[in-house]
Structure 1
Amino acid sequence: MNLSSDCIAEFCAALPHAGYGGEARLDMPTRLVHATDNSIYQILPHAVLFPRTQSDLAAILKLAQEERFAGIAFTPRGGGTGTNGQSLNDSVIIDTSRYLNRILEIDIANGFVRVEPGVVLDQLNAALAPHGYFFPPDISPSKSATLGGMVSTDACGKGSTVYGKTGDYVLSLRAVLANGQQIDTSNYSDAELREIIAADYDAACAAIPQMPRGLSAYNIPGSFDKQNGRLDFNRLLAGSEGSLVVLQEIKLKIMPRPQYKAMVALAYDNFDTALRHVGALLKFNPTAIETIDNHIMDLARRDIVWHSVENVFPQSDATIIRAMHFAEFERYDAEALASDVQAFCNALKTDGIAVAFYATENPAEISSIKEMRKKCAGLLGNMTGNRRPIPFMEDTAVPPHHLADYIAELRTFLSSHGLDCGMFGHSDAGCLHTRPALDLRQEEDEKFIRILTDGAVQILKKYGGVLWGEHGKGLRAAYTTEIVGTNYYALMQKIKLHFDPHHRLNPGKIAVPPGQKLLEIDAVSLRGHHDRQINSKISALFTKATECNGNGLCFSVMPDDTMCPSYKITHDRRHSPKGRAGLLREWMRLKSADVRAAEKFAPQVKEALHGCLSCKACTAVCPIHVNIPDMKTDFLAEFYQTRPRPLRDYLLACTEIAVPILSALPVQLPDLFGLRDLPKPPEKSLRALMQEFSFRFATAENVRNAPQPVLIVQDAYTSYFEPQVVISFLQLLHKLGFTPLVIPFFQSGKTFHLAGFKKTFQKIVTRNDAMLSEWQKAAAPMIGIDPAMTLVFRDEYPKALKRQPTYHVQLLQEFLSDLDLPQTNPAQHQLFLHCSEKTAAPQSTTLWQNIFAKMGMTLSVVATGCCGMAGAYGHQSEHINNSRGLYDLSWRGKISRGNAVTGYSCRSQISRCENIAAMHPVQILNSALQARE
């Protein structure tokens, strides 16, 4: 769009005078993070608006009626999880996710909810769960996709053959027309529009595909009752992708959630065989049949999700498995579930088509399988090599009985071009997600976008299928006439012209007024266009930034999810892994061409990275493993090559050896450095307590002569601020027959790494590597106490050394879980894990539970997000409010005195926010053994 930046700026400046109370952002970082979604495209908007109220939406479009603003177009945006550029444009984005995210009413008696468009799917279902209800359409990005976006694309996913699409649940909509008029579909009528549709209805609907997922925008046969001339605006607007109206409020039907569930995992040695088996499986009425190929399985094995699902996959002859189905059964009656699953399994035994199967009714196993399935799109983005599976034709769909033939022909077509692909999806609905592996940084690969889409459309036409089975049309609308015919598209044009005569709502998509052209898939800006401008030497340091595929898992708003705390508390996409990766990509692009432009942009990148808690959730939970903490370190090292560092950076970097000094300073001095609430040391030091209880520091001689020695690797925070925890561990080891010896304190260098002092960190690592290698020769186990500080030896050290260390510093639970432990008195306890422990050592939950179980105690793990402390983050004055806010979001009210909390940071935050003394698990174990004595 040929649009003046001055015009946009003038519009944004005029908004408050027009009654608009939201935010209007013109800064480059905000525009950049809204230039991408979960697709291959990158289109930079001129501005981004964040309305706070429904009336703000009307104010935007009313102001836009002024002649001076006639050239401005608007595109509504929700979660930004679309795979086809639906929410991208080069004018103004209206982001409803930040503020318009309230659940307005839950009416169980009448079976409906009222929500604002920015409410996230999982957010709604969490609110409905206590009532035993749910909103049935289930899509993969459920943690970040908004209901406004789901209505706008008429989204569906798993279970759609039973539960249908989002549009099936819309009871009414409140929306703003292009002219600023507010409507409510429950009492809105439009005789002129009815006449337009009635006149062309027969000719338009003569050639449309006859399948449940056949239409994905302007669903004319679903919305117009020809017999009585009634027009259902809910059906018409569902799937219109912001091209007809801007949604303000949504009233949705809800349903009782089935109480009884089972999952059957079926393994196959051939992908085609698996697809041809679907017809037989559907006879048993499963709620859903989800399918994955061998690419997904291989990638899942390298992901954090694997530890929770590996027992579902065949363990013997695993190399022959080429596909898996997950058949899900949901019933309202336990006997019906048992009968249906038994009949299903009996049929599997009889036909022998699946080489193995596994049935479960365990809620935890079913949940883990679903979680893995929802990560499929992201997992494919982590495939090795420059070519990665990408979305642009991924939701093609055919009638289910044609699926096997269609996929076979499609795979042959892709192979003819020498291309591999990943496949997963809903085989029961005839919709398998196909992502060809391409590198769009290469011009020759870019050509395949058109070639493959054109080819797929021709194959789809042969089987009566569609290009857009569930993800909306977006930038693919130019194929509409090929799929549904010219008459249908002509009527769509008339509908568009009626609603939006000046073509200002999401222009170029779905339909355009006569005389104008739809956007083409290969005629808009791609992320690959920008990434190919990045110098390979610069890119090598920040590889994960360009590998981010926009899957949006880091936009989760669920309080107890691990990722991403900074986004969760700010709702600012700049402060998410995807947002930070996008800003790093732009900085690299600028640095490759114009160092001065990069230097000018760098402070804005630093601002976004400064909000990162370095919790490392993105290094594991993100299916691409976008490692923002490491890239933050690398960026800060680059940033301060040309700038002076703040004094506080040096102070925080030296924290491990400076904690005694910092704690002793008068309160006013830390305030000068922007540090608050620093902890105070206890009356007795670790050295004094060790002398009191006759424990010793390690020397080469006493390790050599001690029976069953165990070496304790100290961390500064536990040793200095909580020496009683160290003593409890020493006592526990002693009771178990070991000789605990404490290695004299040395700084690990973690704080230098966090602050971007890479050279200093390298020196510390080199020194410590030599020292720990010497201790390793004693052949005694080495164990750390605090998980975040201990994990540095297996995470940051190998990267700095460019090899695996010869020593292994174990976590407490890793050591204790291998022991035969004595029984104690039965007791029940609750466990709260540190974020780094959850992501870098996901087996920790099971290990701690097994340890407590061996000793006769029960340990339940409490689901929480980040506590908000994260080392120094929670003590920095600029982060205090967010730090406390994160605690309130997920931790407050769950803790009671004596709960087991593994992280020092977490225990410190609990003490600060609720004045509760939490315990380390080893304190509980030691006390339990003492009580037995």
Structure 2
Amino acid sequence: MTLARKKTSDDIYSYLEHELKNSIQGEVNFDEVYRQMYSTDGSIYKMTPIGVTLPKNPDDVSAIIDICNKNNTAVLPRGGGTSLSGQTVNSAVVMDFSKYMNNVLEINPEENYVITEPGITIDNLNQRLKHTNLHFTPDPSTKSRANVGGAMGNNSCGTHSVIYGKTVDQVKEMEVILSDSSKAYFEEISGKALEDKISLNNLEGKIYRDVMSMSSKYYDEIKSKYSKVNRRVGGYNLDLVNPNTNKLNLVNIMVGSEGTLAAVTKAKLNLEPLPKYVGLAILHFTDLIESMEATVATLEEGPAAVEHIGKMIITQAKQSLGFSRNLDFLQGEPTDILVVEMNGTSERQVRDKIQKLEDKMKRLNLSYAITKLFDSSKIS
């Protein structure tokens, strides 16, 4: 009797590679070099993926998910890999959208929206939008490398979240590929349109039914236990589903889900006008607690952004040949600074806002010095 040899992981991965290469137009790479390249991101974590795919279109994404689903293999959507908590590393088949699926599909300045694929970086998208005097507002520090898809996956914020909110506040609609490889389009729906979705006899219909059921059952608990912090980005946004309104936008659940629910292939994003005039106030402190007290007082003045920079970063910047020559805005030896941005429709309005802030800091005896900048070349 000859016993059949049990399939090893290598056998399964070779089969996956073969199936994927025969099914998609994009690239498939299961070699060790590619796998090591995608085993890390911006975090401290390292996990070697099964393989790497670079889809060219939604049909590729659907095929990848279908093949992996049939072979009980995890898939992992990935953009620029700037995640700081290991969101883009896993023992899975990686789908990197950044090489091919990075196209801007429609710009509509009249209705303040753009439709784009997920693989474009935030900076590149805003460069494409510059002629419209509009921009996509999330601006994490990694925006030159971070993809729009990653911003949606992580519900990114950034320095201007105090006025624009989080990514979830700026995404209107999404085209997604579900875990059964079917395509769905998420947008705000209500009334009969919502009833029609709920009645669908497929995975999409089940998702609508389950979300509405969960929300109805646990709404009071969700409302009481979810944090009210403005920049809360952990967990699914179940607090944004209200069963009493008879309307639902699953985009709110998708944003912040870190690629665990579906793969986004395009999105309709809200755009906001670029500020006409910008000014900066750099508040100086010799004590961390004092700078925190000043932050609360500053937020009452309606700033566009407030960023704290502490002793460690200031010290390191002074020791750097590249950064030290650009620190002429510092006065004395602060341990902490607050960089406060004020926007307005005129230069006078911006100057008045900063002057009001300076007067307040003097009255509260919180900041020993304030540097004011209105030159756009220095602000940038």
TM-score, normalization: structure 2? 0.89
Coordinate RMSD, CA, aligned: 1.9
**Which 5+ residue runs of structure 1 have no aligned equivalent?**
368-933
Query: Does 1:241 pair with 2:258?
Result: yes
- The corresponding residue for 2:52 is 48
Cα drift, residue 86 of structure 1:
0.5
- The corresponding residue for 2:215 is 197
- The corresponding residue for 1:620 is none
Query: Does 1:213 pair with 2:221?
Result: no
Q: Please tell me whether the aligned partners of residues 267 and 357 of structure 1 are also in contact (alpha carbons under 8 angstroms).
A: yes
Q: Please tell me whether the aligned partners of residues 140 and 158 of structure 2 are also in contact (alpha carbons under 8 angstroms).
A: yes
Corresponding residue SS for 1:312: coil
- The corresponding residue for 2:201 is none
Q: Please tell me whether the aligned partners of residues 177 and 183 of structure 1 are also in contact (alpha carbons under 8 angstroms).
A: yes
Cα drift, residue 92 of structure 1:
1.2
- The corresponding residue for 1:92 is 93
- The corresponding residue for 1:301 is 318
| AA in 1 matched with 2:228 | Q
Q: Deviations over 1:703-757 (max 9, x none)?
A: xxxxxxxxxxxxxxxxxxxxxxxxxxxxxxxxxxxxxxxxxxxxxxxxxxxxxxx
Corresponding residue SS for 1:311: coil
- The corresponding residue for 1:17 is 22
Task: Call closer, same or farther: CA 1:353–1:87 in 2, change over 3 Å.
Answer: same
Q: Which structure 2 residues correspond to residues 373-384 of structure 1 after superposition, within 5 A? A: none
Cα drift, residue 226 of structure 1:
2.3
Q: Please tell me whether the aligned partners of residues 5 and 46 of structure 1 are also in contact (alpha carbons under 8 angstroms).
A: no
Structure 1: distance between partners of 2:40 and 2:119: 18
Task: Call closer, same or farther: CA 1:3–1:104 in 2, change over 3 Å.
Answer: farther
Corresponding residue SS for 1:290: strand
Structure 2: distance between partners of 1:147 and 1:57: 17
Q: Please tell me whether the aligned partners of residues 285 and 367 of structure 2 are also in contact (alpha carbons under 8 angstroms).
A: yes
Q: Deviations over 1:239-275 (max 9, x none)?
A: 0000000111011000110110000111111111111
- The corresponding residue for 1:108 is 109
The aligned length equals: 357
Query: Does 1:327 pair with 2:354?
Result: no
Cα drift, residue 308 of structure 1:
5.6
Q: Please tell me whether the aligned partners of residues 104 and 125 of structure 2 are also in contact (alpha carbons under 8 angstroms).
A: yes
| AA in 1 matched with 2:329 | V
| AA in 2 matched with 1:104 | L
Q: Please tell me whether the aligned partners of residues 137 and 271 of structure 2 are also in contact (alpha carbons under 8 angstroms).
A: yes
- The corresponding residue for 1:118 is 119
Q: Please tell me whether the aligned partners of residues 215 and 243 of structure 2 are also in contact (alpha carbons under 8 angstroms).
A: no
Cα drift, residue 215 of structure 1:
4.7
Cα drift, residue 165 of structure 1:
0.3
Structure 1: distance between partners of 2:345 and 2:139: 18
| AA in 2 matched with 1:13 | H
From 55, 61, 66, the equivalent of 1:57 is: 61
From 13, 22, 25, the equivalent of 1:8 is: 13
Q: Which structure 2 residues correspond to residues 437-516 of structure 1 after superposition, within 5 A? A: none
Q: Please tell me whether the aligned partners of residues 21 and 28 of structure 2 are also in contact (alpha carbons under 8 angstroms).
A: no
Structure 1: distance between partners of 2:34 and 2:352: 54
Corresponding residue SS for 1:310: coil
From 291, 294, 297, the equivalent of 1:274 is: 291
Structure 1: distance between partners of 2:308 and 2:214: 42
Corresponding residue SS for 1:261: strand
- The corresponding residue for 1:344 is 357
- The corresponding residue for 1:131 is 132
| AA in 2 matched with 1:333 | S
Corresponding residue SS for 1:277: helix
Structure 2: distance between partners of 1:15 and 1:103: 26
| AA in 2 matched with 1:63 | I
| AA in 1 matched with 2:349 | A
Structure 2: distance between partners of 1:303 and 1:32: 31
Larger radius of gyration: 1
Corresponding residue SS for 2:323: helix
Corresponding residue SS for 2:228: coil
Q: Which structure 2 residues correspond to residues 761-840 of structure 1 after superposition, within 5 A? A: none
| AA in 2 matched with 1:22 | G
Q: Please tell me whether the aligned partners of residues 52 and 99 of structure 1 are also in contact (alpha carbons under 8 angstroms).
A: yes
Q: Please tell me whether the aligned partners of residues 215 and 242 of structure 2 are also in contact (alpha carbons under 8 angstroms).
A: no
Q: Which structure 2 residues correspond to residues 513-662 of structure 1 after superposition, within 5 A? A: none
Structure 2: distance between partners of 1:58 and 1:166: 25
Structure 2: distance between partners of 1:3 and 1:347: 69
Task: Call closer, same or farther: CA 1:247–1:202 in 2, change over 3 Å.
Answer: same
Q: Percent identity?
A: 26
Corresponding residue SS for 1:225: coil
- The corresponding residue for 2:79 is 78
Structure 2: distance between partners of 1:303 and 1:104: 42
Query: Does 1:167 pair with 2:168?
Result: yes
| AA in 2 matched with 1:98 | K
Cα drift, residue 41 of structure 1:
0.6
Corresponding residue SS for 2:264: strand
Q: Please tell me whether the aligned partners of residues 262 and 337 of structure 1 are also in contact (alpha carbons under 8 angstroms).
A: yes
Corresponding residue SS for 1:172: strand
TM-score, normalization: structure 1? 0.37
Q: Please tell me whether the aligned partners of residues 217 and 241 of structure 1 are also in contact (alpha carbons under 8 angstroms).
A: no
Corresponding residue SS for 1:184: strand
Larger mean Cα displacement after TM superposition, 258-267 or 274-283: 274-283
Q: Please tell me whether the aligned partners of residues 198 and 229 of structure 1 are also in contact (alpha carbons under 8 angstroms).
A: no
Q: Deviations over 1:614-640 (max 9, x none)?
A: xxxxxxxxxxxxxxxxxxxxxxxxxxx
From 226, 231, 234, the equivalent of 2:248 is: 231
Cα drift, residue 338 of structure 1:
2.2
| AA in 2 matched with 1:50 | L
Cα drift, residue 63 of structure 1:
2.4
Q: Please tell me whether the aligned partners of residues 219 and 242 of structure 2 are also in contact (alpha carbons under 8 angstroms).
A: no
Provide runs of 4+ in structure 1 moved above 4 Å.
none
Structure 2: distance between partners of 1:217 and 1:119: 25
Cα drift, residue 332 of structure 1:
2.6
Structure 2: distance between partners of 1:257 and 1:36: 35
Instruction: Indicate the structure whose relative CO is greater, using CA pairs within 8 Å and at least 6 residues apart.
Output: 2
Corresponding residue SS for 1:357: strand
Task: Call closer, same or farther: CA 1:240–1:338 in 2, change over 3 Å.
Answer: same
| AA in 2 matched with 1:250 | A
Corresponding residue SS for 1:40: coil
Structure 2: distance between partners of 1:290 and 1:142: 16
Q: Deviations over 1:790-830 (max 9, x none)?
A: xxxxxxxxxxxxxxxxxxxxxxxxxxxxxxxxxxxxxxxxx
| AA in 1 matched with 2:226 | I
Corresponding residue SS for 1:209: coil
Normalized per residue, the structure richer in helix is 1
| AA in 1 matched with 2:235 | A
Q: Which structure 2 residues correspond to residues 178-193 of structure 1 after superposition, within 5 A? A: 178-186=179-187, 189=197, 190=205, 191-193=208-210
- The corresponding residue for 1:148 is 149
Cα drift, residue 199 of structure 1:
2.3
Q: Please tell me whether the aligned partners of residues 155 and 233 of structure 2 are also in contact (alpha carbons under 8 angstroms).
A: no
Structure 1: distance between partners of 2:302 and 2:93: 46
**Which 5+ residue runs of structure 2 have no aligned equivalent?**
1-6, 198-204
| AA in 1 matched with 2:330 | F
Q: Please tell me whether the aligned partners of residues 78 and 150 of structure 2 are also in contact (alpha carbons under 8 angstroms).
A: yes
Cα drift, residue 231 of structure 1:
2.2
Corresponding residue SS for 1:90: coil
Cα drift, residue 205 of structure 1:
3.4
| AA in 1 matched with 2:11 | D
Structure 2: distance between partners of 1:220 and 1:103: 30
Q: Please tell me whether the aligned partners of residues 174 and 251 of structure 2 are also in contact (alpha carbons under 8 angstroms).
A: yes
Corresponding residue SS for 1:358: strand
Cα drift, residue 304 of structure 1:
5.3
Structure 2: distance between partners of 1:204 and 1:130: 42
Q: Please tell me whether the aligned partners of residues 153 and 217 of structure 1 are also in contact (alpha carbons under 8 angstroms).
A: no
Q: Please tell me whether the aligned partners of residues 284 and 368 of structure 2 are also in contact (alpha carbons under 8 angstroms).
A: yes
| AA in 1 matched with 2:357 | F
